[in-house]
Structure 1
Amino acid sequence: MTRQPLVSLGIILCLTSTLTEGLPERRLHPSSSRIPIQTQDNGGSSSFVLSMRITNRIYSQSLEDPASSYCENLWAEVAILLQQIFGCSGCATVNTYGGIADMAFSKGSVIANSTLVFNTKMINGDIVKYTFCNALLTGAELHTNLNVDPTYTLNLPAPEMIPVE
């Protein structure tokens, strides 16, 4: 049996409309050392929860401590990957991507649940899901050490919008 290789970027990602229930997790709030959320007064914002399974990282209790270097480093790696996909200068969402409002880690290799904010209500879960998957599947120039399997995301329903007030 031939195994299909994972995209060399490395995270197994899934988009969901809520954080995974029943798993221990720690919510993290952006600090000044992380990518700040950028909001604009444009008639409203919306957010979507992006859940990703990171296969080349191991869950440990230190991910429950936002001050630990492991937690800080993994948060930054995920934030940079998402910035490259949704906030790059050539990206369709460059003018609306506001960053990450929240992130929680839980077991399952490592599951990172990130709440992405967009400075528009004219976006939906399908756009978020397919923008993400397309970047991975087309070999976009992503600079990351994380391993990603975009087919996992493609098999999930698109997330529902969470209005931001």
Structure 2
Amino acid sequence: MRRGDLLAEGEPEREFHAGIAARLPRKTVAGGALIRDRAGRNLFLEPTYKPTLDIPGGIAEYDESPYQACVREVEEELGLALEIGPLLVVDWVPAQGPWSDALAFVFDGGVLDPATIDRLRIDRVEAHGHEFLTLAEAGPRLRPSMLRRLALAERALATGTPVNADFGR
């Protein structure tokens, strides 16, 4: 489908001023999944590479959509090919320190039954472990912007309306 869509677009447009495309800013794009258990608690990973909790997902690779990145990363991190549902939040994150600004997409990862939870195989290179927690329980171990983003994701689940946010607001 994607190849056909690209072919239907025709030849890429030419640059009016040579080299301008290479000078345009680049953004980091990430896709994560809000995955819950039957009690309504969210699945959090304990990453090996940072001190705060995170949801399953990760950075999109070159020419990969945020949704595709989410599907790929969830399978890599959890050892399961889960059906990832609709978009809940798009959140712009400002540049900070060495990191460029980013767009963080959060998708509905669904509700896992106990048998599926038992089949989780956490990638130990990426995470020390995992926990199902409410936002109140996870809050002290999350960056404030992530806590705000996930609260918006829970609101989107409840209302059925995706949220556009700036740094979790």
TM-score > 0.5, shorter chain as reference: no
TM-score, normalisation: structure 1:
0.29
Larger gyration radius, structure 1 or structure 2: 2
